[in-house]
Amino acid sequence: MIGHSCILIVAVAEIALSSYNRAAKNIMEEEKRFISGIVPPSERTGPAWWFAFLESKLLIYPGSDLVSVPFLVDFSELGLIAVSQHYLGHLDDRDCYAVELAEGTVLPPGIALEGLRQIYGRLDETLFWVATRAVQIVDWDRTHLFCGRCATPLRTKGAERAKECPICGQLHFPRLAPAIIVLVERGGELLLARSRHFLSGMYSVLAGFVEPGESLEEAVVREVKEEVGIDVKDIKYFGSQPWPFPHSLMIGFTATYAGGEISLDDSEIEDAGWFTADHLPRIPGKISIARKLIDWFVEKKGSSPKKAIP
Ligand SMILES: [Zn+2]
């Protein structure tokens, strides 16, 4: 009997693990066709994808259901002025560029500007994730004009995604703010919380920025303790996702309840509780790793998410 139990446990563990890996793998599938690059080709032989931004809004061709981005040999074909242009790499065999539009740009008919969150699900998924790179490069470029140490105008550093101060030599790289996001399980339940700035009725898994000097696992333990007052154990890596609002990298984990009662950090969290897979509140949309964590839990429990926004 003991032998059979072991086999069963191993089999269940394998099913759970394969589901876990699949959920995590899917996060990055969208980007597998994109190869990052910094130095543009010396000659452009065909059309390229152009990700042009005014502030954080992307220039698109709107459609009734779907939107697209310009696919042109040169951005100047649109008759718009680019303040800066950055090579991003190539998608399949097509080059990709990020462009910053001049303030006050007047768009010709048939072109619009929209926020990235608003176009998720309407722009091709792969193009969408390239756009999330583009918006961060443009944002970094326009907010790093001068050296933070000596205030000298910066110059681009050759073949690196970096800027260099010509006086003091200080290097300035694109900003990236790592944040952990964690699904906490207790038996057949998961912990969901409601932040004060969430959409009405929406709950999600806990997340928070990593502090300097802190490991990701320490950040998981601290955030859960600070926000809802409980202890966690068995912290396992789930997957990661760029989150360009404005420049985060979400690193996903699962963890198991280890003790304590829910006690809210009132400044951050409005409500929190334990939920089962078949009685979920409103949860985040499919763009987020939060949703992928919740979907993984629901799939593991053999149910389908309810009340989810698309
Ligand atoms: Zn300097």
Distance 150 CA to ligand 1 centre (A): 4
DSSP 71-139: EES-GGGGT--EEEEEEEEEETTEEEEEEEEPTTPPPPTT-EEEEHHHHBTTB-HHHHHHHHHHHHHHH
Structure tokens at 179: 């944040």
Distance 75 CA to ligand 1 centre (A): 33
Distance 40 CA to ligand 1 centre (A): 27
Distance 171 CA to ligand 1 centre (A): 8
- pLDDT of 266 reads 83
DSSP 212-251: TT--HHHHHHHHHHHHH--EEEEEEEEEEEEETTTTEEEE
Distance 166 CA to ligand 1 centre (A): 7
Q: Could you report the per-residue pLDDT of 269-282, keeping only the tens digit for each?
A: 999 999 999 999 99
Question: Model pTM?
Answer: 0.82
* Confidence bin at 267 (pLDDT 50/70/90): confident
Distance 152 CA to ligand 1 centre (A): 6
- What residues form DSSP beta bridges with 61? 68
Distance 146 CA to ligand 1 centre (A): 8
Distance 158 CA to ligand 1 centre (A): 17
Distance 218 CA to ligand 1 centre (A): 34
Distance 163 CA to ligand 1 centre (A): 11
Distance 149 CA to ligand 1 centre (A): 5
Residue 310 pLDDT > 90, yes or no?
no
Q: How many helices (H) and strands (E) does the chain have?
A: 5, 16
Distance 261 CA to ligand 1 centre (A): 50
Q: Could you report the per-residue pLDDT of 223-254, keeping only the tens digit for each?
A: 999 999 999 999 999 999 999 988 999 999 99
What b/e sequence results for 30-57 when a residue is b if at least 16 CB atoms lie within 10 Å of its CB, and e otherwise? Answer: bbeebeeebeeeeeeeeebbbbbbbebb
Distance 102 CA to ligand 1 centre (A): 27
Distance 142 CA to ligand 1 centre (A): 17
- pLDDT of 29 reads 53
- pLDDT of 304 reads 55
Q: Could you report the per-residue pLDDT of 8-46, keeping only the tens digit for each?
A: 444 444 444 454 555 554 444 544 699 999 999 998 889
